[in-house]
Amino acid sequence: MRVRYGCSAGLTYAGVTASGDLIPCVPASSIKLGNLLEQSLEEIWINNKLLNYIRNRKALKGSCKICAYSDLCGGCRYTARITHGDWLGPDASCPFGLKILNG
């Protein structure tokens, strides 16, 4: 397993609210993946469609797809969702993204 320094949402991390809701990450607190009082963590982690989509880092888009650091970083998936409407879109907060696309 390679060490990742970027976004770990869906790969090695998810958040939990006080009411037991599993969320992709802390900023995405309004996105409920399931509730740990009703389902096991394993069941949610393995079967949740959104988590499985976020994990597909080979399908990154835009500057994150072509970035030399995508294997290590992959950008912030929540920022991609907020700015581009797609969890696998480019990370608009990345300092390298525009430079990569503009040469």
List pLDDT tens digits, range 29-88.
Answer: 999 999 999 999 999 999 999 999 999 989 999 989 888 888 788 889 999 999 999 999
Contact 90, 80 (CB under 8 A): yes
State pTM to two decimals. 0.84
Task: Report the pLDDT value the prediction gives residue 71, as an integer from 0 to 100.
Answer: 78
Cα Rg, the chain, nearest whole Å:
14
- The three-state secondary structure class of 87 is coil
In the chain, which ranges are E strands? 15-16, 21-23, 34-35
